Amino acid sequence: MLERIGSPRDLKDLTDAELDELAAEIRDFLVDNVSRTGGHLGPNLGVVELTIGIHRVFDSPHDSIVFDTGHQSYVHKLLTGRRDFSNLRRRGGLAGYPARDESVHDIVENSHASTALSWAAGIARGHTLRGEDGRTTVAVIGDGALTGGMAWEALNSLGASHDRVVVIVNDNGRSYAPTIGGLARKLDGIRTDRRYEQFLGWGKRTFANRGRFRNFAYLSVMHGKRALKGLLTDQGMFADLGIKYIGPIDGHDQRHVERALEQARELGGPVLVHVLTEKGRGYSPAEQDDADRFHAVGRIHPETGLPIEASRFGWTSVFADEMLAAGEDRPDVVALTAAMLAPVGLQPFADAHPDRVIDVGIAEQHAVTSAAGLAYAGLHPVVAVYATFLNRAFDQVLMDVALHKAGVTFMLDRAGITGDDGPSHNGMWDMALLRHVPGLRLAAPRDEPTLRQAFRDALDVDDAPTVVRYPKGAVPEPLPALRSVGDIDVLAEHGEDPRVVVVGLGSMAATAVETVGKIAAEGISAIAITATWAHPVPGGLLEAIGGAELVVTVEDGLTDAGLGEEWAAYARLAGTPAQWSHHGVPREFLQHATRAQIVDDLGLDASDLAAHALGLITRD
């Protein structure tokens, strides 16, 4: 069946039996292929029938389909003719999220959550203003992403419009983990309401008989189904916004899904369709074990779901251990995260101190400002997020934390070049952004000991924001300092009175050591230096540089406005004669590839750095 689907139009005339067969084939395809490459498995297994229904009822790309976050778009890729998953999330292969250069059916590439409804509102209003009344805009958003503030801002705006928007809430009760908060309780109340169970049984019988209807309330009266009418009239929070509500719908009943979407399309204005799905549906390991473990996987054995390669000791584990220890020592330490409790390493702390962890949902802005409030109340908040997601709360860091001199510590996981998740997940923006925040101090540890010490140091700062950034992956071998000059650590030195100084920040410290070794092999004296606390400019910099001819900086953040440029400006103002050469990430979006491939492309490996440095200095 799957081989017969080259575009969404090929779905239109399939029989019920063929649709069931197609859904089963898609699940088999996903398990077989994603287990080879890694990727988002659980979210896609849960939206098979829903995605088929969307493409049968709506006419993409004439009707715009927007996926929030986009990690559940693999089924959409298959139904729009993309069946080569052999290099998924690898260079030259399919992206792990929607990508405009792959297909006209892909619209939003940004894989940051809670944005789809704003996209849909803008697209739909554009169609209205252009007189394109026959086009519907469809936004698929999970219940986890619906906890984000932008989603509710968009719902507020949509409710005041008459544009043709169908909002599909894919409610599986989870994001990376179980969805929390007041909205989660509301949706859970709908999901578990006894009247819904009564309606679901009646609805399936009605749809099986091909019953046609214009609105649910009419049917509930005509058929005497008080359960349905009572349930729907309870969903006042959407009606009060001016948005019609349909649901909840069994998201794995193909016919049920399509009837609901057809009705939503015919209503013509903003409509919310509440669809219940199961993450990991149809895959025994996910159904029998923890479905969240299969949200995103590496290479796994498809029969068991177990990883092919054992997980390596990583930076996140070091933070998790240190955070747990801090919780035992200091009752004032509290933790906040944005729907990523386990991925950022807060689960052990939460298990030990459940009342001292606040998961705000996908709401980074709220997390940061509420952290400022916690600091005002006498606590020391630790906000743990992926580096790329702190971008979303820059104003709150600036105006709510820094302006108020709040002692808040930010732990930025997956900082720098992350690779296979593509342009929106590389944590390469933080240093260039945060160096402009008054009073903020930023640490870029190079190994396990410096990460542990940086975190402890950060907790002792109660009058300014502190940031500790660290990369994705395994922790390297310890890289001890040979000696220190103020706050500068000298990691390697070849010869006296060095002509070349190589500064390696954070994960690039080991690269600096390798680079000076190659420079020294050409008969040029050189040293490698770093600083754990890299912003503001660390004390001892001028002494460490001495009379060097050339200073080379390498960082895994933006070169423009990066920390290398900050250090150079400071040194020039002090009158040092050295020439400076900066290396890092260009001001552009990096397409998905491995970290090693990106580093090689950008000339950030030791061989390229050494060759460039040797070309800049005067040779005897």
> Mean pLDDT throughout 214-219?
37
pLDDT of residue 287: 72
b/e map 291-321, b = 16+ CB within 10 Å? bbbbbbbeebebeebeeeeeeeebbbbbbbe
> Mean pLDDT throughout 214-237?
41
Integer Cα distance of 499 and 384 in angstroms: 40
Tell me phi and psi for residue 39, to 5 degrees: 145, -170
Query: Does the annotation place 284 within a ligand binding site?
Result: no
Q: 445: cis peptide before it, omega within 30°? A: no
Integer Cα distance of 533 and 530 in angstroms: 9
CB contact set of 9 (below 8 Å; sequence gap of 6+): none
Higher pLDDT among residues 100 and 232, named by residue: 100
Ordered domains of the chain (ranges, CATH): 2-6+16-193+234-284 (3.40.50.970), 315-469 (3.40.50.970), 483-616 (3.40.50.920)
pLDDT of residue 207: 44
Residue 613 has, within 13 A of its CA and on its CB side, a CA count of 38
Query: Does the annotation place 283 within a ligand binding site?
Result: yes
What are 563-587's pLDDT values in tens digits? Answer: 999 999 999 999 999 999 999 999 8
Query: Does the annotation place 353 within a ligand binding site?
Result: no
Q: What is the DSSP letter of 449?
A: H
pLDDT band, residue 288 (cuts 50/70/90): low
Query: Does the annotation place 71 within a ligand binding site?
Result: yes
**Looking at the predicted structure, is the pLDDT value of residue 166 above 90?**
yes
Higher pLDDT among residues 561 and 203, named by residue: 561
**Looking at the predicted structure, is the pLDDT value of residue 460 above 90?**
yes
pLDDT of residue 32: 87
pLDDT of residue 588: 85
pLDDT of residue 420: 75
60, 153, 161, 237, 243 from 158: Cα distances, Å:
21, 9, 5, 14, 8
pLDDT of residue 226: 40
Integer Cα distance of 39 and 499 in angstroms: 46
Q: 61: cis peptide before it, omega within 30°? A: yes
Q: What's the mean per-residue pLDDT of the chain?
A: 86
pLDDT of residue 180: 55
Higher pLDDT among residues 239 and 480, named by residue: 480
Measured N-to-C along each axis, helices 194-208 and 226-233 cross at an angle, to the nearest 10 degrees, of 120
pLDDT of residue 97: 82
pLDDT of residue 191: 52
Lowest mean pLDDT among 153-162, 223-232, 558-567: 223-232
Question: SS3 of 499, please?
Answer: coil
What are 4-47's pLDDT values in tens digits? Answer: 999 999 999 999 999 999 999 999 999 888 888 888 888 889 99
Tokens of 273: 């369709």
> Mean pLDDT throughout 192-202?
51
CB contact set of 281 (below 8 Å; sequence gap of 6+): 27, 45, 46, 48, 252, 287
What are 227-257's pLDDT values in tens digits? Answer: 333 344 445 678 778 899 998 999 999 999 9
Integer Cα distance of 519 and 567 in angstroms: 22
**Looking at the predicted structure, is the pLDDT value of residue 550 above 50?**
yes
pLDDT band, residue 290 (cuts 50/70/90): low
CB contact set of 236 (below 8 Å; sequence gap of 6+): none
Q: Residue 183: exposed, middle, or buried by beta-carbon count in 10 A (0-12, 13-18, 19+)?
A: middle
Lowest mean pLDDT among 17-21, 50-54, 416-420: 416-420
Integer Cα distance of 490 and 511 in angstroms: 14
What are 323-358's pLDDT values in tens digits? Answer: 999 999 999 999 999 988 999 999 999 999 999 999
Residues serving a catalytic function are 279, 364, 392
> Mean pLDDT throughout 46-62?
95
> Mean pLDDT throughout 513-527?
97
Tokens of 106: 């892909």
> Mean pLDDT throughout 385-414?
95
pLDDT of residue 535: 97
Integer Cα distance of 298 and 225 in angstroms: 47
Tokens of 34: 């994603």
Query: Does the annotation place 364 within a ligand binding site?
Result: yes
Task: Return the percentage of the chain with pLDDT > 70, whole number.
Answer: 85
Query: Does the annotation place 127 within a ligand binding site?
Result: no
Integer Cα distance of 529 and 448 in angstroms: 17
pLDDT of residue 567: 97
> Mean pLDDT throughout 70-86?
90
**Looking at the predicted structure, is the pLDDT value of residue 62 above 60?**
yes
Of 526, 519, 449, the residue nearest 492 (C-alpha)? 526
pLDDT band, residue 619 (cuts 50/70/90): low
